[in-house]
Amino acid sequence: MLNLKFIQDNPDLVIEKLKRKNFEAAGIVGEIIDLYGEKNKLQGQADQAKAEMNKISKEIGLLFREGKKEEANAAKERTSELKENIKQFDQQFSAIEEQVNELLVLLPNLPHDTVPQGKGEEDNEVVTSAGEIPALDENALPHWELAQKYNLIDFELGVKLTGAGFPVYRGKGSQLQRALINFFLDEARKAGYEEVQPPLLVNEASGFGTGQLPDKEGQMYHVAADNLYLIPTAEVPVTNIYRDVILDAKDLPYKNTAYSACFRREAGSYGKDVRGLNRLHQFDKVEIVQIAHPEKSYKVLDEMVKHVASLVEKLELPYRILRLCGGDISFTSALTFDFEVYSAAQKKWLEVSSVSNFESFQANRLKLRFREEGVKKTQLAHTLNGSALALPRIVAALLENNQTSKGIKIPKVLVPYTGFEIID
């Protein structure tokens, strides 16, 4: 959530910057300014009423002592009237605060100055490309056919048990999943991240804190009876570990990693581009999260991008890094880098990670602050997160890119985790 005082002090800047996200903020910003103008006017009237009441209250005792009973009673009536007025002012203040908060949650985070202009993914900026795209035999199979051929993933059984988008992994397919999860977690631990195992359901406060709620796109699964939400990513529970806390600046950054299943409705996703593992309702992912000092958060972002790049390189997958444009960046992010790996059989790039700096946007919702040593006033921290990595499309690319006439080769880095070198 954007800082209210920043909006009041810089309304034109907020409106102009949000245009880069293709968001017209003038109406909302104007309404917020008008509401606070009304509140300031009411505040002046309330302060005047309180001052009058305090003055009269001091005079009442003196009037009684002087025998001016009639004047004293009139003064008492006036204080009762003023109390009622002040009560009404407080109710009006609460109503205005509620209206302002309802408007504030509609405003996206401000994009960083380096976010390129653009309307959608076609306008994203490729900043790095690495690795060689493998040349496959003309009879190469897409991963969903390979999964069937080697009995790795049963998509039809998933439909029977739950529905489309909930695959069942079997045999070496299950082992490959577990190998990737352990590899990603071990690499995160080596990079200084503390592993946590979070719940798979969160409450409203957690969903609001990281910006998933209000759920404008209907992508979260909601357990109505308990008013809980299945997590779309481990980012939600892990970042909320720090909700309503004040950290010491000397302890920053805080670094956490977590493996979890992730649940997304993916409403409106249909067609050939979502076949197989390309888009699922349930999938596995290892997440990295950092809570950083505002002055160092972009250095932290660079470190996180390098960490994800190292994972893809160790898996020997060709990849590219994209800086997302204003039209493709998320509601909560200030700057996002997406990682894509090349799927040789499908002949397309598949997104496998997003690494983002949210600056103080989530922290403001979370009331996540830190204090410098010897300084009484607190500051909002910066939050960052990244997929390191999401498994489905990594598995898709590994299966497709490494297929040979003898079977599917396993990258060397994974062999100690899988216990086998080839799927045959």
Query: Domain boundary residue among 77, 104, 131?
Result: 104
Helix ranges (DSSP H) in 224-348:
235-239, 297-314
Cα separation, 372 vs 246, in Å, equals 10
Q: Are residues 100 and 133 in the same domain?
A: no
Q: Are residues 166 and 37 in the same domain?
A: no
Q: Are residues 307 and 195 in the same domain?
A: yes
Q: Are residues 77 and 148 in the same domain?
A: no
* Residue 353 labelled as part of a binding site: yes
Query: Element (H or E) spanning 351, and its range?
Result: strand 348-357
Q: Are residues 63 and 176 in the same domain?
A: no
Residue 113 lies in a domain: no
Task: Label the pairing between strands 319-323 and 335-343.
Answer: antiparallel
What does the pLDDT read at residue 337? 98
What tens-digit pLDDT sequence spans the chain (424 residues)?
Answer: 999 999 999 999 999 999 999 999 999 999 999 998 888 888 888 888 888 888 888 888 787 777 888 887 888 888 888 888 888 888 888 899 899 999 999 999 999 999 999 999 999 999 999 999 999 988 899 999 999 999 999 999 999 999 999 999 999 999 999 999 999 999 999 999 999 999 999 999 999 999 999 987 889 999 999 999 999 999 999 999 999 999 999 999 999 999 999 999 986 555 556 789 999 999 999 999 999 999 999 999 999 999 999 999 999 999 999 999 999 999 999 999 999 999 999 999 999 999 999 999 999 999 999 999 999 999 999 999 999 999 999 999 999 999 999 999 999 999 999 999 999 9
Nearest to 184 by CA among 286, 295, 269, 51: 286
* Residue 352 labelled as part of a binding site: yes
Residue 109 lies in a domain: no
Task: Label the pairing between strands 319-323 and 282-292.
Answer: unpaired
Query: Element (H or E) spanning 85, and its range?
Result: helix 69-104
* Residue 266 labelled as part of a binding site: yes
* Residue 351 labelled as part of a binding site: yes
Residue 111 lies in a domain: no
Q: Are residues 95 and 201 in the same domain?
A: no
Residue 243 lies in a domain: yes
Residue 232 lies in a domain: yes
Residue 372 lies in a domain: yes
What residue has token string 């002949």? 347
What does the pLDDT read at residue 195? 98
Query: Domain boundary residue among 55, 76, 104?
Result: 104
What are the tokens at 54?
């305090």
Query: Domain boundary residue among 73, 104, 135?
Result: 104
What does the pLDDT read at residue 64? 77
* Residue 354 labelled as part of a binding site: yes
Cα separation, 383 vs 381, in Å, equals 7
Q: Are residues 150 and 91 in the same domain?
A: no
Residues of 83-116 as b/e, b for ≥16 C-beta within 10 angstroms?
A: eebbeebeebeeeeeeebeebbebbbbbbbeebb
Q: Are residues 142 and 284 in the same domain?
A: yes
Q: Are residues 88 and 155 in the same domain?
A: no
Q: What CATH number corresponds to the domain at position 93?
A: 1.10.287.40
* Residue 264 labelled as part of a binding site: yes
Q: Are residues 226 and 259 in the same domain?
A: yes
* Residue 178 labelled as part of a binding site: no
Nearest to 290 by CA among 368, 370, 385: 385
Distance, CA of 30 to chain centre: 27
Angle between helices 11-18 and 26-65 (to 10 degrees): 150
Q: What CATH number corresponds to the domain at position 179?
A: 3.30.930.10
Nearest to 358 by CA among 327, 380, 378, 335: 335
What does the pLDDT read at residue 270? 59
How many domains does the chain contain in total?
Answer: 2
What does the pLDDT read at residue 292? 98
Domain that holds residue 55: 4-104
